[in-house]
Structure 1
Amino acid sequence: MSRIIISAAIRGAHKIVNKCAETLYQARDKYGENQEIGFPNTAYYLPIIYSLMGVKIEKIKDAVPVMERCKSLLPPVPAEKHYLPYLGPGLDAGLATLMAEEIFEAIRYLTDPGFYTGGEEVIEKGAANIWLGAAEDTIFRKRGIEFVDGSAPGFAAIVGSAPSVQEAVDLVLDYQKKNLYIFCAARDIEGKTSVPEQLLEAGVQIGWPTRIVPFSPDISGAVFALGFANRAAMAFGGVKPGAALKMLLYNKDRIFAFVNALSTISDEWYANAAGCINWGFPTITNQDIPQVLPTGICTYEHVVSNVPMSEISQKSIEVRGLKVQVTHIDIPVNFGAAFEGERVRKDDLYAECGGGKTQAVELVTSKRMEEVEDGKVEVIGPDLPDLPKDKIPVRLPLAVVVEVAGRNFQPDFEPILERQIHHLVNYAQGIMHIGQRDIAWYRIGKSAVEKGFTLKHIGVILHAKFHQDFGAIFDKCQIKIYTEKDKVDEITKQARVVYRDRDARVENMRDETTDIYYSCTLCQSFAPNHVCVVSPERTGLCGAYNWMDCKASYEINPTGPNQPIEKGETIDEKLGQWKGVNDFVFKASRQAVAAYNFYSLVYDPMT
């Protein structure tokens, strides 16, 4: 753990807790210990304290012992020659910071009731007060459920201001496209501006309806974001108040949030960031600060720095382990399984790639995370609008290269994704696709081109559908489409080497040397007692799924139709029968099939 970061966080925690304690005691002296305090219109009291400690703070006197607990959590500030402050004291300091700040914000509602506006209306340029403060329960119930049902995969907690207005707009727009909420707190440490103020300057509407929530101009407003997450855990996740460990684990595993610190970071900001690590929420920043790369509390890294503004969105999503949900496929033609069987006839043909007329090749390959920009689609060479209109139908060489990156992605998954290109491209109305690998064949109809379809839209389709259908096994995907003959020939040559290596890998696998087979129960939707078992040398009866397919399917959907089976003791080596397989089949067939053989059509065949 970085000595600089932990030392700064502990220093900041001391400053914040002392300031908050002084505010509390001054309020007690002025209003009396029985004065009611809290956030408006909520049944969750002060939600961070209530969820972690089970303490209901309703009056000033209720907050005093909690503030004393915050003081007791503070570790001493590390000495200059103490080179290894541990993570634990830093996390304690962060937790003390957040609980003290929550009490401070409750006192602010008492002493300055007009500081926050509340409400759910859209905020536009020229608004007198843009800061919303804590979400009331009516807003929380409406918005919090989105974090549970998946319509909001998480939130970005942004503090400070971007280097420029346009960079603030670009960053927030990128998060909006990914359906994230953007929770904002704290102007830059000079007090000049903040991301929500930069957005308003650019004419962007902010507020709950646009998922850009300006909580507070102060760093203490971070508690509104974390409190919102904890309320979601209590209301929708069944976590009881006071179950601190369950609360923090729920947030780590279910609320995919992270912090973006976009300007100079003070000790107080470090303290709040340390507090967020308790929730499993990492910090990603464009600032030049030390990094905390080892995993531990967070899913992956804890602090990642020096990220360019143009890359901070993708890096944040990668570090948090957030799976991007692409709900809209931005193409000009209709898209769906109903169009898969459509044919593009000779008279309707605008452009043709492959099919013996030219070379067409498809390749899915894995890359390192830093080599892939999610959603990037490039066409290298002429696209359909660039082709001469007097030579229709046009015949073009084509190479579709999909580059995939993911922390859990395995090379064995490459051919699985590659095989999906066939039916995914066919889902586009007016597009016909046949074949795969280096014998692919594309036929693009005149009607599709008239509506604006281009080769680039093939990449848009693949990016969206791969994320929708296979997002569990990768994080980022970019597509390169080549139409220059020399480049297509070069990629075809490279692809054939990859195909040969893949085939050799599968061909060298033997049933005898493989201990894990896979079930396939896809057909149980219409044949409820039917169970196939897939081994390296034997596909399912339909022939559509091999062992690699089933392995990938299990990785994508661990509760799906393809389950691993330990084959266990060999009963008959010649006919191909194993005890583990029989036990699984008997159970999965609802006791209809007690045993079967892999290698016989006469004695108990797999039918």
Structure 2
Amino acid sequence: MSKIICSAAIRGAHKIVDMAEEKYEEALKKYGPEQEVSFPNTAYFLPIIYSMLGAKVQKLGDMKEIFQECRKLLPPPVSDSMWLPYLAPALDAGMATLFAEEMYEAIRYIDEPNFYTKTEDPPSDDQIWLGAADDIIFRKRGVEFVDGTAPGFAAILGTPPDPEMAAKIALELQEKNLYIFMHDQTDGVSMPDQLKKQNVQMGWSTRLVPFGPTYTSAVFALGFACRVALAFGGIKPGDYKGNLIYNKDRTFAFVMAFGPVSDEWYANAAGAINWGFPTISDWDIPEILPTGICTYEHVVSKVPHEEIVQKAIEVRGLKVTVSKVDVPVAYGPAFEGERVRKDDLYLECGGGRTIGVELLISREMDEVQDGLVTVEGPEMTDVEPGAKLPFAILVEVAGRQMQSDFEPILERQFHHLINYAQGIMHIGQRNIMWLRVGKSAIEKGFKFEHIGKILHAKLHQDFGAILDKVQVKIFTEEEKVKEILELAKQVYAARDERLGSMTDESEDVFYSCTLCQSFAPTHVCVITPERVGMCGAYNWLDGKASYEINPTGPNQPIQKGECIDENLGQWTGVNEFVKQASRGKVERVSAYSLMVDPMTACGCFECIATMLPMCNGIMIVNRDYLGMTPSGMKFSTLAGMVGGGQVTPGFLGVSKHYICSRKFMKAEGGLKRVVWMPKMLKEELRDRLQQRAEEEGVPDLLDMIADEEVGTTEDEVLKFLQEKGHPALKMDSAV
């Protein structure tokens, strides 16, 4: 380990701990030891400290012991007469640095509550620094590090001096599907400053995340990695070894430093090395080339800007596979959240502005010409800026393994596959789809035909096991669009009838989902026709299609076997499968019960259901609701009790779709047992819930279900239920 680097890292660590402790003493005098501290709306306290030490820093007074731990970790400054093996002391100094910075940032939230926007995307050009990701953002984005959608992140310190090069580096990282976490400045200029000059959209939706204007905000990046291990990896708080190894093996992150490297930057880099995250710099600094903690080199320097992304990926050992699609714009998942705003709008179709429809249907092999892409009607280049065109996409596929049940599954892929193109925005599906094309995409030569090329290439790449041929027809003439619309309505109606008629009793086979099992080893999701996966992303047909596509993948058929208990939803075959797939950790699963053998969860659930004993009912809270619930816990706290493959009677992760199922909590009395849910969730599901309430013979049930406007304590909810005469009060006790 280089003596120069270790000396600088240890010096920097001393400076940072001194600075943070001084800030702490000032805060202690000003606010007192009982002052609450946290990163807003997060479940894991100060996550680096919590994951490494198991310490819950909830009040200012709790920080005293952590600063004592920092002082224990800090080695003495390196001197000419002092010769030591430098690796361990430097890594300890780096860990002390991160502990101190995390406390420093927590105090900043008290001193300057509006310093960070606390939003998903910057609200304006003047307010760009987002701060720590709250639990809504974390749950939505963190799962991408689980399923491989995002292999890792680049933690950027400073910025290249040239705005065009900064934008080029950011784009190249986006194309590799990485998140880009931005911190600090070089000569008073930050990476977001440079990107703004190039009109680059920033925020979680584009994976360009401006965390903070100082090096101390680097803890938000490392803390995010720690939270992934805690939430999705089954790592326990205080298991520092497990957390470090998990992130080294699974989170492919690295530090990218631009410009002169200060002692403080060295200290943060030493901290990152603990997790196996190397540093790649454009500056002339000493290198640490031997392997050891990191997969390959620890510090690599003097890397030209044109080569720095590729070098970083090589040093981290990340194997990135990016499918090349023949389109004139950048293409990849990083652009899925991009918005085409009014000022940049060149063309739009559908969305209520014009007729718009998209449809995928299967044909016989001789009816499809593979690779055929046709456009009938005006092309994008034939219209003026601001134009509105009718629009229809008809994708016809053929394959020896293709089935009509797969059509809606493949059709749903249009949304993200089209959105992956930079400068293109796609919203909705079926005949409520909406397409917007930006001026920048037109300037680069994007046309309707490129949408066809995208769908042809990606459907083959993603569904090659069931597809042999794909042809795409695009229509922008109104009469032809109306013709496709009529065909689509007939197809949609037939599909809905097929899906709507399926019941758990009508099918002998269910499907498993163990996609997240490497991160929650005991979790097995059982998907039935009437119980969608708790993430809301997988239904029974999706499981069937996935098995056809990948017979050894995470979605396996489950022969449900003999019924053990119809009310609970237990079957011999399901229990046998779950016991085997959970390696004996879970022996029984009830598909329809909250209290008896409830299903495990990995952490990706849309909602959480739990009992309110005083009310003899069930409350449901969705992850978008930030407030307190009558259970006395917020969603983030409840999530910690449900995720990680735990079996916790009385707590259950559920999807929004399942709430409207006839099998929802059947063992506890179903929908009539629900007594509280956030207003936003009730309104979102109102039509389907009303239909179910009428089926249950309680047409005014929705008006009897309390929300946060009624109260957020169990006493307040109970009073409301008594006034309304809620049926749950007359039901047998569920606990």
TM band (smaller chain): 0.5 to 0.7
Q: Which has the higher contact order (CA 8 A, sep 6+)?
A: 1
Aligned length: 354
Alignment of 1:44-193 (within 5 A): 44-82=44-82, 84-122=84-122, 127-188=125-186, 190=187, 192-193=188-189
**Alignment partners' CA distance in 2, 1:115 and 1:452:** 46
Preserved CA contact (<8 Å) 1:122 1:210: no
* Aligned position for 2:393: none
Aligned AA (1:223): V
Preserved CA contact (<8 Å) 1:122 1:208: no
**Alignment partners' CA distance in 2, 1:452 and 1:265:** 48
**Alignment partners' CA distance in 2, 1:84 and 1:163:** 38
Q: Which is further off, 1-10 or 127-136?
A: 127-136
Aligned AA (1:112): E
Preserved CA contact (<8 Å) 2:13 2:97: yes
Match of 1:285 among 281, 284, 309: 281
Preserved CA contact (<8 Å) 2:37 2:59: yes
Preserved CA contact (<8 Å) 2:122 2:129: no
Preserved CA contact (<8 Å) 1:182 1:213: yes
Preserved CA contact (<8 Å) 2:9 2:263: yes
Residues 112-164 of structure 1: CA distance to partner in whole angstroms, max 9, x if unpaired? Answer: 1111111113556xx22211110110110000000110001110000011121
Q: Which runs of 5+ in 1 are unaligned?
A: 333-337, 345-450, 470-556, 561-607
Aligned-residue offset at 1:176:
0.5
The verdict on how the C-alpha distance between 1:122 and 1:83 changes in structure 2, with shifts beyond 3 A counting, is same
* Aligned position for 1:296: 292
Aligned AA (2:145): F
Aligned-residue offset at 1:331:
6.0
Aligned AA (1:313): V
* Aligned position for 2:264: 268
**Alignment partners' CA distance in 2, 1:2 and 1:123:** 43
The verdict on how the C-alpha distance between 1:76 and 1:326 changes in structure 2, with shifts beyond 3 A counting, is same
Aligned-residue offset at 1:37:
0.8
Preserved CA contact (<8 Å) 1:3 1:84: no
The verdict on how the C-alpha distance between 1:128 and 1:452 changes in structure 2, with shifts beyond 3 A counting, is closer
Aligned AA (2:65): P
Residues 160-197 of structure 1: CA distance to partner in whole angstroms, max 9, x if unpaired? Answer: 11121111011000001111100011112x4x111111
Aligned-residue offset at 1:339:
10
Question: Does residue 17 of structure 2 align to residue 17 of structure 1?
Answer: yes
Preserved CA contact (<8 Å) 1:70 1:100: yes
Aligned-residue offset at 1:295:
0.5
Identity %: 58
Aligned AA (2:80): E
Residues 502-560 of structure 1: CA distance to partner in whole angstroms, max 9, x if unpaired? Answer: xxxxxxxxxxxxxxxxxxxxxxxxxxxxxxxxxxxxxxxxxxxxxxxxxxxxxxx9x99
Preserved CA contact (<8 Å) 1:3 1:85: no
Match of 1:204 among 200, 206, 211: 200
Alignment of 1:206-605 (within 5 A): 206-330=202-326
**Alignment partners' CA distance in 1, 2:246 and 2:203:** 26
Preserved CA contact (<8 Å) 2:122 2:128: no
Residues 61-99 of structure 1: CA distance to partner in whole angstroms, max 9, x if unpaired? Answer: 111101110011000001024455520000000000001
Aligned AA (1:69): E
Preserved CA contact (<8 Å) 1:183 1:225: yes
Aligned-residue offset at 1:106:
0.3
Aligned AA (1:322): L
Q: Which is further off, 206-215 or 83-92?
A: 83-92
The verdict on how the C-alpha distance between 1:302 and 1:109 changes in structure 2, with shifts beyond 3 A counting, is same
**Alignment partners' CA distance in 1, 2:39 and 2:365:** 54
Aligned-residue offset at 1:101:
0.3
**Alignment partners' CA distance in 2, 1:339 and 1:242:** 58
**Alignment partners' CA distance in 1, 2:192 and 2:253:** 18
Residues 554-577 of structure 1: CA distance to partner in whole angstroms, max 9, x if unpaired? Answer: xxx9x99xxxxxxxxxxxxxxxxx
* Aligned position for 1:520: none
**Alignment partners' CA distance in 2, 1:244 and 1:310:** 36
**Alignment partners' CA distance in 2, 1:97 and 1:13:** 5
SS of residue in 2 equivalent to 1:215: strand
**Alignment partners' CA distance in 2, 1:206 and 1:91:** 32
**Runs of 4 or more above 4 Å deviation:** none
* Aligned position for 1:335: none
Preserved CA contact (<8 Å) 1:182 1:212: yes
**Alignment partners' CA distance in 1, 2:12 and 2:365:** 60
TM-score normalised per structure 1: 0.55
Aligned-residue offset at 1:238:
0.7
Aligned-residue offset at 1:452:
10
Preserved CA contact (<8 Å) 1:38 1:106: yes
**Alignment partners' CA distance in 1, 2:143 and 2:103:** 26
Aligned-residue offset at 1:242:
0.7
Aligned AA (1:25): E
**Alignment partners' CA distance in 2, 1:163 and 1:177:** 22
Aligned-residue offset at 1:235:
0.6
Aligned AA (2:106): A
Aligned-residue offset at 1:324:
0.7
SS of residue in 2 equivalent to 1:203: coil
Question: Does residue 5 of structure 2 align to residue 33 of structure 1?
Answer: no
Preserved CA contact (<8 Å) 2:32 2:60: yes
**Alignment partners' CA distance in 2, 1:210 and 1:34:** 39
* Aligned position for 2:634: none
Preserved CA contact (<8 Å) 1:123 1:206: no
SS of residue in 2 equivalent to 1:214: strand
Preserved CA contact (<8 Å) 1:286 1:308: yes
TM-score normalised per structure 2: 0.45
Aligned-residue offset at 1:200:
0.7
SS of residue in 2 equivalent to 1:30: helix
The verdict on how the C-alpha distance between 1:136 and 1:247 changes in structure 2, with shifts beyond 3 A counting, is same
SS of residue in 2 equivalent to 1:213: strand
Aligned AA (2:151): P
Aligned AA (1:141): R
Aligned AA (1:10): I
**Alignment partners' CA distance in 2, 1:330 and 1:322:** 24
Aligned-residue offset at 1:327:
3.7
* Aligned position for 1:8: 8
Preserved CA contact (<8 Å) 2:122 2:130: no
Q: Which is further off, 256-265 or 72-81?
A: 72-81
SS of residue in 2 equivalent to 1:16: helix
**Alignment partners' CA distance in 2, 1:66 and 1:123:** 35
SS of residue in 1 equivalent to 2:143: helix
* Aligned position for 1:429: none
**Alignment partners' CA distance in 1, 2:327 and 2:321:** 17
